[in-house]
Amino acid sequence: MKEKLVPLKDHRFKCQLCGECCRNRWVPLTLGDIFRIKNVKPIDDFLLIWNEKKLVIERREWDNGCIFLKDNLCEINKIKPLICVLYPVALSEVPVLKNDTPYYLKNGKKIYLYIDKSCKGIGKGKKFDIEKILDLCETILQESKETCWRN
Ligand code: SF4
Ligand code: SF4
């Protein structure tokens, strides 16, 4: 599935459980994600170093899907990576387009939020809870900072 990012506005979302966001993409992991997941699966069975610098979840060969995807559901839903919790919202520290409107975290940091319009759940269900999203983004940035092991 190819991402189509557009700035987050007052979009609605309800997951349609198609599992498409769990195939054909590398899921980056924070240090916190790794510690949470290693409680249910040995690190060697899920962790992959991609492009010599990113820690991601291993994918299986037959459908290019995440190894935790089963019958279109996430086997580790309660402890899934924060980036999966955030999806179909995507976080960027720089604007994709020059005029994109920033959001501000409680600590004052400026971020940019996008949604992936290729997700089938966009336009359905409830509006996104921006406050919750901002709190989650703050955690993701903090845990990602702790994860960097190579520049
Ligand atoms: S692509 Fe969208 S609708 Fe499909 S499983 Fe992922 S979040 Fe849900
Ligand atoms: S961890 Fe779960 S939600 Fe994230 S890509 Fe894998 S199956 Fe999907």
pLDDT digit string (tens) for 57-90? Answer: 999 999 999 999 999 999 999 999 999 999 999 9
DSSP string, 26-58: --B--HHHHHHHTTTS-HHHHEEEETTTEEEE-
Give the pLDDT of residue 93. Answer: 95
Give the pLDDT of residue 66. Answer: 97
CB contact set of 44 (below 8 Å; sequence gap of 6+): none
Report which ligand 2 atom has the smallest distance to the Cα of 19.
8
- Which residues of the chain carry a pLDDT beneath 50? 151
Give the pLDDT of residue 70. Answer: 96
User: What is the token pair recorded at 24?
Assistant: 């054909």
User: What is the token pair recorded at 83?
Assistant: 């980036």
Give the pLDDT of residue 50. Answer: 84
- pTM of the complete model: 0.94
Give the pLDDT of residue 52. Answer: 79
Report which ligand 1 atom has the smallest distance to the Cα of 20.
1
- d(CA 128, CA 73) in angstroms, rounded, equals 21
Give the pLDDT of residue 5. Answer: 94
Give the pLDDT of residue 90. Answer: 96
State in Å: Cα 30 to ligand 2 middle: 14
State in Å: Cα 23 to ligand 2 middle: 9
State in Å: Cα 4 to ligand 1 middle: 13
